[in-house]
Amino acid sequence: MTTENVLPLELIDKCIGSPIWVIMNGGKEFAGRLLGFDDYVNMVLEDVTEIDPIGGDKKLPKILLNGNNVCMMVPGGDGVSTFDDEEK
Protein backbone atom coordinates (compact mmCIF):
# COMPACT_ATOMS: atom_id res chain seq x y z
CA MET A 1 0.00 0.00 0.00
CA THR A 2 1.39 3.36 -0.94
CA THR A 3 -0.10 6.46 0.55
CA GLU A 4 0.95 9.91 -0.59
CA ASN A 5 2.25 11.47 2.60
CA VAL A 6 2.21 15.24 2.27
CA LEU A 7 3.64 17.03 5.28
CA PRO A 8 1.80 20.20 6.30
CA LEU A 9 4.65 22.58 5.52
CA GLU A 10 5.26 20.78 2.22
CA LEU A 11 1.70 21.66 1.23
CA ILE A 12 2.30 25.31 2.07
CA ASP A 13 5.63 25.21 0.24
CA LYS A 14 3.77 24.15 -2.89
CA CYS A 15 1.58 27.25 -2.54
CA ILE A 16 4.47 29.69 -2.94
CA GLY A 17 3.58 32.02 -5.79
CA SER A 18 -0.12 31.18 -5.54
CA PRO A 19 -3.06 32.80 -3.79
CA ILE A 20 -3.58 31.74 -0.18
CA TRP A 21 -6.17 32.48 2.46
CA VAL A 22 -4.92 32.84 6.04
CA ILE A 23 -7.27 32.69 9.01
CA MET A 24 -5.97 34.08 12.30
CA ASN A 25 -6.87 33.13 15.84
CA GLY A 26 -8.79 36.32 16.53
CA GLY A 27 -11.10 35.89 13.53
CA LYS A 28 -9.14 38.21 11.28
CA GLU A 29 -8.33 36.90 7.78
CA PHE A 30 -5.77 37.70 5.12
CA ALA A 31 -6.07 36.76 1.44
CA GLY A 32 -3.13 37.30 -0.89
CA ARG A 33 -0.33 35.78 -2.92
CA LEU A 34 2.22 33.82 -0.87
CA LEU A 35 5.80 34.87 -1.62
CA GLY A 36 7.51 32.89 1.11
CA PHE A 37 7.48 31.68 4.70
CA ASP A 38 9.85 30.47 7.42
CA ASP A 39 9.91 27.79 10.15
CA TYR A 40 7.54 29.82 12.36
CA VAL A 41 5.13 30.16 9.43
CA ASN A 42 5.75 33.89 9.35
CA MET A 43 4.70 34.74 5.81
CA VAL A 44 5.44 37.30 3.14
CA LEU A 45 2.25 38.08 1.21
CA GLU A 46 1.61 40.31 -1.78
CA ASP A 47 -1.58 42.10 -2.96
CA VAL A 48 -3.25 41.36 0.34
CA THR A 49 -6.80 41.96 1.47
CA GLU A 50 -7.09 42.18 5.23
CA ILE A 51 -10.56 40.88 6.08
CA ASP A 52 -11.71 42.15 9.44
CA PRO A 53 -15.34 41.40 10.39
CA ILE A 54 -15.37 44.44 12.69
CA GLY A 55 -12.99 46.99 11.18
CA GLY A 56 -13.80 46.25 7.51
CA ASP A 57 -11.55 45.18 4.63
CA LYS A 58 -8.26 46.83 3.76
CA LYS A 59 -5.87 46.46 0.81
CA LEU A 60 -2.18 46.05 1.59
CA PRO A 61 0.51 45.90 -1.14
CA LYS A 62 3.05 43.67 0.60
CA ILE A 63 3.21 42.42 4.18
CA LEU A 64 5.21 40.29 6.55
CA LEU A 65 2.58 38.44 8.58
CA ASN A 66 3.52 37.22 12.06
CA GLY A 67 3.00 33.45 12.26
CA ASN A 68 2.22 33.57 15.98
CA ASN A 69 -1.54 33.95 15.59
CA VAL A 70 -2.07 31.93 12.43
CA CYS A 71 -4.85 29.37 12.81
CA MET A 72 -5.41 28.01 9.31
CA MET A 73 -4.06 28.44 5.80
CA VAL A 74 -6.15 27.56 2.77
CA PRO A 75 -4.42 27.24 -0.63
CA GLY A 76 -6.15 28.76 -3.64
CA GLY A 77 -7.40 32.15 -2.58
CA ASP A 78 -10.10 33.60 -0.40
CA GLY A 79 -13.45 32.21 0.64
CA VAL A 80 -15.33 34.88 -1.26
CA SER A 81 -14.11 33.76 -4.68
CA THR A 82 -14.64 30.10 -3.71
CA PHE A 83 -18.26 30.79 -2.89
CA ASP A 84 -18.66 32.89 -6.04
CA ASP A 85 -17.53 29.91 -8.12
CA GLU A 86 -20.11 27.67 -6.50
CA GLU A 87 -22.92 30.01 -7.40
CA LYS A 88 -22.06 29.91 -11.11
Partner 1 sequence: MQDMQNGDSPQEVNQVGDTEDPSKFLGDIIGAPVVVKLNSDIVFRGTLQSVDGYMNISLERCREVDHNNKVVRDYGEAFVRGNNVIYICLDDGSV
Instruction: Decide: helix, strand or coil at residue 77.
Output: coil
Cα–Cα distance for residue pair 86/37, rounded to 1 Å: 30
Q: Residue 37, interface with partner 1 (CB under 8 A)?
A: yes
Toward partner 1, which CB reaches closer, 14 or 82?
14
Instruction: State the CB neighbour count (10 A cutoff) for residue 73.
Output: 19
**Dihedral sign, Cα of residue 73, residue 74, residue 77, residue 79:** negative
Is 75 a binding residue for partner 1 by CB under 8 A? The answer is no
Per CB under 8 A, the segment of 40-48, 71-79, 80-88 that binds partner 1 is: 40-48
Interacting residues with partner 1 (CB under 8 A): 7-10, 12-14, 16-17, 24, 26, 28, 30, 35-39, 42-44, 48, 55, 58-66, 68-69
